[in-house]
A and B are shown apart, each in its own frame.
Chain A
Amino acid sequence: AQRVTQPEKLLSVFKGAPVELKCNYSYSGSPELFWYVQYSRQRLQLLLRHISRESIKGFTADLNKGETSFHLKKPFAQEEDSAMYYCALKRNTGFQKLVFGTGTRLLVSP
């Protein structure tokens, strides 16, 4: 079964501080991992996906198959990064089914 764990419900940092939002997954196959972001009262938006290996808004995430992790990182947090962040997993075979973690609220204070 697919499972995504985000151990932190809330992460509070000061502007300019580094940020790491943790995500661990369990899946017997080879998964596809995503990070979605939800700004206040808005729809979820795709932030990045591991197959793209890109940096979006300064955020990066590396898939570590050995540790089954896909942590989201940013070296210098900005106030506008304050949002809810969801890690999600999709198996790469069969029908699409995106399974989300419980989310981490990031609060960046001035």
Chain B
Amino acid sequence: DAGVIQSPRHEVTEMGQEVTLRCKPISGHNSLFWYRQTMMRGLELLIYFNNNVPIDDSGMPEDRFSAKMPNASFSTLKIQPSEPRDSAVYFCASSPVTAGGNTIYFGEGSWLTVV
């Protein structure tokens, strides 16, 4: 398996523009997570899905952020409108089961710069 696949790897956009980040989890994994990484705050969990259903979105910063998982093999994280403070690395991760001692596997991240 190629692992968790994220796109784009890098994006530079202007303030106010819409940004869409994409994730393909590992096949067979039924939990998916979106994390944001910044120098100041480290890794923050934004939202996670189980069987395509959002379970906990309490980490989503504000209404400008939204995430969807239309099927088991695809998820998006959208920021509209984007702001410079959204600049960060956004990681998607997946895990095979909902509970128990299973490992979470991370993608390589999407590096977002909003200017």
Contact = CB atoms under 8 A, between A and B. Distances in A.
B75 interface: no
B45 A98 contact: yes
Contacts of A6: 42
B91 A95 contact: no
Contacts, number: 63
Interface residues on B, range: 20 to 34
B48 interface: yes
Interface residues on A, range: 20 to 34
Interface string A79-104: 00000001000001111111111110
Contacts of A11: none
B106 A44 contact: yes
Interface centre among B31, B33, B42, B45 (most CB of A within 10 A): B42
Contact of A86 (B42, B97, B101, B103): B42
A74 interface: no
B42 A95 contact: no
B107 interface: yes
Contacts of B56: 95, 97
Nearest to B97: A96
A94 B56 CA distance: 12
B25 interface: no
Interface of B: 3-4, 31, 33, 35, 41-45, 48, 50, 55-56, 91, 93, 95, 97-104, 106-109
